[in-house]
Structure 1
């Protein structure tokens, strides 16, 4: 009773262990996937003022702070507008494709100085009087060749992207038909464009006069607002449609139904955890009953040859053990060993053990008798030799 009582308990423990392993695996996969997803979103991008990576700009921010410039990082449009509300600040404006033309102009007008660190043709056209992108200067140092103070202090710099100036726009670092720096001054306000990736990043800052150029362009006022665009900064009504807005209304219920179906299937299949259930046979069949039952089947089928083969197989196995033969000895080898031991004709012994094929029940009985007599003769010969020795 104790063994019977503990078997279900062990089964329940194994089933519970299977569920625990399944839940643990799901949690582990979720944690790993979440870490990858979170890590991808949490990783700072290029030109980020808090990034210490090669494409980050934390080094130039630290240098500006050492020069007495107060740097404020605004990670959305609202924060940038609030930081610029006091006036007199310099705005670092990366490429912001989510902003409309009016939104870009309004944000730029709130700052005293605007520095485009990753300009595209749209922002150059709007804020620098029709300027546009040009070619690329490559990894070479270019002389300033202008009277802009920041460029003169740098003397030479590696400027990267080149720009084509619009009407009234001054260019510096001229090479290959373009300029590495564009600037336009209106009263006491300036708008400047540089390739930030080639000038102000942590990797580019130590090269040639890039550090002096970056400090001269970004340090024009006591406050610097570094705007980091956010996808939610688009003007109301101009934001691109979300996935839920683009999909038909039946998609969400279908997905929910699929998830519920998957959960139900997991619970259903989860019931199979644990060892297989073993059942005791309801009755025990004796060996002689099994033998008699098989004999009656052979008799009803009229297959005398098959019945004799079964008898021969068992007799050869017993004779082989008596003669010390290998368990898998060929029938011909057993017959040869019997003939040699008894001094009988090989053909007669092979006929009894292998070749004779009965066609009727009478012939089957006669063949069985000869087989029994042959086995008895071998047993007697082996016993006699053992006694003699």
Structure 2
């Protein structure tokens, strides 16, 4: 009975520790998952505000919209194709449209049909092929400001800019290309509905709130978008798609925080497996073949010092021990230096500070007799400090 009860009592704490460990792991995973979800949500909202005229963030374009309004141009922000078509039907207008991968070719053409001018923001190859045949993306600029170098009046009045994405227009003679860099151009424009035009430009490094005040960015934006009294700024969304037969991936169907949380769970699982797999057992006392008493070790080291005739080294060992004991007697911390201990001992005992420093630090023994004398002086100093600190124990 006694052995069984003892065994059961030993297993209970182990089970409790295991349960507590797994609870701690679960709480850590929940905390890390929450942090990952918050970061993912923050990134998602930051991405939503990109090129949005209602966003005041670094990647938004609210500053440009306000500048256009200051020039007497009405800016209408629409988030679906029906509203965009209705706004364009009010009169001559400029359609500002970011790349819309969720729309079909027919939907993009129908949307631009009612616009006098079209400004394409960060267009991809498909959008360029629809509006500017023969034009295609051609890398990224080096980040330095370049002059227009073309016959486009709006670009010449704006001055130099530092373009981002570049486009090549070698396959079409109707396209005007400006801001040449590394054999390609940062702006391309072509005809649209008679006197109208279509312009493609990388807006993220030019017209966003963060970069609008640089070089001639603001002037170029106003010149491109302000040719008509109305600007219809279309902000595409996934819900406005007309691709009914699109096959969406699992990553698109799940919230954006799911993928980082899965990765974090995998990392936490691997870490838990390594932790449990490398668990050490209880400490086991090892039986030594020989046990050497401390007194024998001390005597052996003393004989070595005596044989080598190194009185100074032996004196240092005696002083180190005496300084440690004196520091504890005087209530000094482990970080106290030898001069501090010597001064404290002299102050407590009333002895001459120079003499105490000579005993603990300065005096150098030249022979065995000097070493024996130093040992006696150290012992007398310790006795004096002990008497001064604890006089009642010494009297008894």
TM-score (normalizing by structure 2): 0.51
Closer/same/farther in 2, CA of residues 136 and 50 from structure 1, 3 Å limit:
same
Looking at structure 1, the residues matched to 96 and 109 of structure 2 have their Cα atoms a distance apart, in angstroms, of 14
Looking at structure 1, the residues matched to 114 and 246 of structure 2 have their Cα atoms a distance apart, in angstroms, of 23
Q: Does 1:229 align with 2:236?
A: yes
Looking at structure 2, the residues matched to 240 and 86 of structure 1 have their Cα atoms a distance apart, in angstroms, of 36
**Corresponding residue of 1:208:** 215
Q: Does 1:67 align with 2:71?
A: yes
Post-superposition offset of 1:78: 2.1
Written as runs of structure 1 = structure 2, the 5 A alignment for 1:278-289 is none
Looking at structure 2, the residues matched to 114 and 241 of structure 1 have their Cα atoms a distance apart, in angstroms, of 29
Match of 2:185 among 147, 171, 179: 179
Post-superposition offset of 1:85: 2.1
**CA displacement, residues 282-334 of structure 1 (integer Å, 9 cap, x when unaligned):** xxxxxxxxxxxxxxxxxxxxxxxxxxxxxxxxxxxxxxxxxxxxxxxxxxxxx
Looking at structure 1, the residues matched to 39 and 211 of structure 2 have their Cα atoms a distance apart, in angstroms, of 29
Looking at structure 2, the residues matched to 197 and 158 of structure 1 have their Cα atoms a distance apart, in angstroms, of 12
Closer/same/farther in 2, CA of residues 145 and 41 from structure 1, 3 Å limit:
closer
Written as runs of structure 1 = structure 2, the 5 A alignment for 1:249-328 is none
Post-superposition offset of 1:241: 4.9
**CA displacement, residues 239-270 of structure 1 (integer Å, 9 cap, x when unaligned):** 44587xx99xxxxxxxxxxxxxxxxxxxxxxx
Q: Does 1:192 align with 2:199?
A: yes
Looking at structure 1, the residues matched to 195 and 125 of structure 2 have their Cα atoms a distance apart, in angstroms, of 25
Closer/same/farther in 2, CA of residues 240 and 79 from structure 1, 3 Å limit:
farther
SS at match of 1:116: strand
SS at match of 1:143: coil
RMSD: 3.0
Match of 2:52 among 40, 48, 57: 48
**Corresponding residue of 1:335:** none
Q: Does 1:94 align with 2:98?
A: yes
Closer/same/farther in 2, CA of residues 238 and 93 from structure 1, 3 Å limit:
farther
**Corresponding residue of 1:170:** 176
Post-superposition offset of 1:185: 2.1
Q: Which runs of 5+ in 1 are unaligned?
A: 1-28, 248-389
Post-superposition offset of 1:229: 0.5
Post-superposition offset of 1:73: 0.4
Contact 2:143 2:164 in 1 (8 A): yes
Looking at structure 1, the residues matched to 145 and 249 of structure 2 have their Cα atoms a distance apart, in angstroms, of 45
**Corresponding residue of 1:110:** 114
Say which is worse superposed, 67-76 or 32-41, in terms of deviation: 32-41
**Corresponding residue of 1:122:** 126
SS at match of 2:204: helix
Looking at structure 2, the residues matched to 79 and 226 of structure 1 have their Cα atoms a distance apart, in angstroms, of 11
Looking at structure 2, the residues matched to 33 and 209 of structure 1 have their Cα atoms a distance apart, in angstroms, of 39
SS at match of 2:198: strand
**Corresponding residue of 1:154:** 158
Looking at structure 2, the residues matched to 58 and 141 of structure 1 have their Cα atoms a distance apart, in angstroms, of 24
SS at match of 1:163: strand
Looking at structure 1, the residues matched to 114 and 141 of structure 2 have their Cα atoms a distance apart, in angstroms, of 32
Contact 1:77 1:230 in 2 (8 A): no
Contact 2:103 2:243 in 1 (8 A): no
Post-superposition offset of 1:106: 1.1
Post-superposition offset of 1:175: 1.6
Contact 2:104 2:243 in 1 (8 A): no
**CA displacement, residues 115-144 of structure 1 (integer Å, 9 cap, x when unaligned):** 001111110111112210012112210100
Post-superposition offset of 1:184: 0.7
**CA displacement, residues 344-388 of structure 1 (integer Å, 9 cap, x when unaligned):** xxxxxxxxxxxxxxxxxxxxxxxxxxxxxxxxxxxxxxxxxxxxx
Contact 1:149 1:216 in 2 (8 A): no
Post-superposition offset of 1:202: 0.9
Q: Which runs of 5+ in 2 are unaligned?
A: 1-30, 255-396
Closer/same/farther in 2, CA of residues 139 and 100 from structure 1, 3 Å limit:
same
Looking at structure 2, the residues matched to 242 and 162 of structure 1 have their Cα atoms a distance apart, in angstroms, of 30
- After TM superposition, what 4+ stretches of structure 1 lie above 2 angstroms from structure 2? 31-45, 236-243
Contact 2:132 2:190 in 1 (8 A): yes
Looking at structure 2, the residues matched to 195 and 237 of structure 1 have their Cα atoms a distance apart, in angstroms, of 29
Post-superposition offset of 1:33: 11
**Corresponding residue of 2:224:** 217
